[in-house]
Structure 1
Amino acid sequence: MHILLVEDDVKLGELIQYKLKKQLYQVEWALDADNAMAFIERAAFDIYILDWMIPHKTGIELCKEIRLKKNRTPILMLTARDSVTDRVQGLNAGADDYLVKPFAFEELIARLIALYRRKETNWEADTKIFGDTLVIDHSTFEVSRNGVSIPLSRREFQLLSFMSQHPKQILSREQLIDRVWGIDAEITLNTVDATIKLLRKKLDDPFSDKIIQNVRGLGYRLAVEGGE
């Protein structure tokens, strides 16, 4: 699980990052909203953990900005504010869950796992339409562009499905190996490149606009609007 933690309390941020990494989660830590947006624009994450009170913008304002960009990555809000009004404000801003400080680390882990599981279940059950051209049906494993059916292998479909969960976001080859082949798979980076090449041949070559982009030195991204 790739997590972005946005927390300006250095001691708490260090503790959360340390404990999450001990659970073998990959964690990036931002001290303020501007730094957080830089991370979000540069890489894909499975979950965002946002503290309510952070420099430059509040966690609520950052949450709204993320959602305005049609970014549906699950958001867990951390705050000492525990009134019903505060909880409602956080959820209405686009947060998916709310954890009041101080909290037990075991509860944080449980909420992260629940958010991650919910995200995967909701995504895989739906048909997703991206922009005006790309349709991915997770119930029948069918893909089409401009109304043209595109047969994909199981691995190609898994790769496209994962990339479609993070539209316009750069995904490293290591992330693709972890989520598509499995973290323990004996797969080289060249295998990722070869699979991307096959997917491009089917998904991009017959069309003028190319939606699978190679970002040199960083990885790949699916250049489409978020799925509806």
Structure 2
Amino acid sequence: MKNRLRVLIIGLISLALYSCEKNANQIIDTKEFNGPFLRGYNFSPSGPTVNVYVNDIKVTAIGSTNGKEATAGIAAYGVFPTTNSYVNLTSKGNVTVKSVIPSTATTNPGVVTSTINGDLQEGKYYSFFTCGLYNTTDKTTSSVILEDKIPTLDTAAAYLRFVNLVPNAPNGYDLVITNRATSQVINLSPTLAFKAASDFVKVPAGIYDLRASSVGGTVINRTELTISKSYVYSLITRGTAVTASTLAIDMTRNR
């Protein structure tokens, strides 16, 4: 009996050692795909709800309950993802980015409203915007891709950049912000043309009033905007210069 038990124990040990040796020879690829990373904005004045496609692959995954593409997408002045995150793309290098009306929409289903080519590099962050005036005859608008050069985390301050997406203000816009507590005035950006963006600028956390001005044109104000430390933000002028009610300064977090 003891001999049988001894043989059984030796056999189990041998099996365990063989299993360890076999597993040691397995090679498991755990490398994560690292971007590029993309956010989509639908800022075309009077434009329709759209989804974003990169190389004909839909990257704005709006949920569906019936197995068909949802009629919902990125609505006017919306962003995807809605949190301060990005979509991790599987395509990189020279890509084609499109905005497309959902295939189940009641009006103009599946119509491509804008197309733009871009060089999206692995590990970098980008924002895609529809932003031109929407042509109701051709069902088209224009778009732009901007690199988001997100700065290193600073736990004592915030970072802001300015993006001008008002398509019909020929003299562009600048942006000045004022800290309500200290009265400090910060010229965040000189005048920017349509589709241009400033670099990210470090600013103290606080509550700010914003003023975007166009020479000989309109002024866009936003008051009591809270800027928190450790965060990175984009401040974006949008709307159409000929309709004051559409003009606004939008704020989204990049981190």
The alignment's TM-score, normalised by the length of structure 1, stands at 0.29
More strand as a share of residues: 2
The alignment's TM-score, normalised by the length of structure 2, stands at 0.27
